[in-house]
Structure 1
């Protein structure tokens, strides 16, 4: 029971009860309730921001953050492994592929240069673990740049290899007739005795003795420039343009197996041995031209003879004897 309060009425010289107004009572009660509510909310907020009070949501977020850190750590390990692989490819590219094709190496200052732009990762700042995210993103960007540079380098090497393949296929690299045991070589490149005038003069090719009708092979890929008998002394003959400044000539044929303008590949049968034109006996006169100058065909037989056979054929070719045309 609440205490009754009195006040002294000096006019009437008597004590009177203090009567509390109902409205004031209600106001006090409401004020108390509001103050209590505010105190409770403030206390709750303070508790939420202390490490001693965790909600289920906080625990879930903490677990997700730890998982993300773990995933970033795994990702960085994979980036390290990828860097080891790309480093090995780059080394092989510089020291093998580019060296083989005599191309300038790509230095590390270009391969591993940073990316342009001032603070390009600014948008990643201001978060928890921002440095981890920024460092990982930067490493991925640098790795991607290295891969792009390496991809372009390999594209260049591929083009060089394709061009090299065409070049190697075009070079006249085999003997124009089958020459087992080197039985068919009659005369080599150099000064020889002319069979008709008996005068010593320059023999600009190599003569291969063979029976009439023996197949003659294209010694490299190319296009037939001519297949006729309109050149003095050569009789029925074929000229193949191989590109890269190379041409080959096959003379004294009995008949052709191709026509002018036709593409041929190394090893294709282009004609047959004969003795047409200025010829003393059935044989093939074979010439190699580089940049419109005659060169020794002996230097181009690496495609189908061994080192021992090369020495033997060189010895035979260098003998001072009589040519057959």
Structure 2
């Protein structure tokens, strides 16, 4: 619960709070020119917010890291507003330094700390492989303390999974010289994305199986046994939450945006199913137990629906590249 509160604060409360304060400060500016400049800054801030909240996972990944980036960008514009409103030189200098620090924090997180501010369509397949390697430690932080694994950007990624087999030894070798925006580069980005989603789907199936195998709790269970069952349900819930976060931060090509939204919905339904199961394990009221257990089953069914849609979308995307494969 504390983690969820922190996520809400970083993704919604902090960025939107800064936006509202900036708008109010713009409206209360003493001069007409300051009001006009403040209005322009406020419109720019609202535009940035709209990109984050309504164009999910296109430019900035829609997760807490993206929320932190949005907060730094908002504070930078807020600092610029105070530079405009300041009367004496000392105040202008102080607010300018504050704005510069906020901009440095934004750029540092976006480009050096974690590559979350990357337009994938401008990257070749080998460059995306290198970025995924750098991003791997961050992804592994959600994998229940498992050791991070290095990703070899030039390593073999020939498909042996569910969707596609390219017949090539290495995506990097095949597409590293592809011109950005070319069909070959787009095909390479899609292959890299499918490789990553296969890992997500494998974990989804493992978690779904754990929910399926979770036996009903008898009414006369002892406190010690109930505690053990609730800890089991909590572990499932933590795994589902971690997988949902990983999926939200997963890089994907623009062509797979619709498919990726289905995958996000699938992991979100799985997270809700696991949370209902955990709530079920804590309940002692029989009616509430039935309700929570049924919710877990319903959400698990929705997970399968969204996953099926994702797989169909991916198959359709792959079929778009089928002629190129046959020509090769």
Give the TM bin, normalised by the shorter chain.
under 0.3
TM normalised by structure 2 equals 0.22
Larger proportion of helix: 2
Larger radius of gyration: 1
Larger proportion of strand: 1
TM normalised by structure 1 equals 0.23
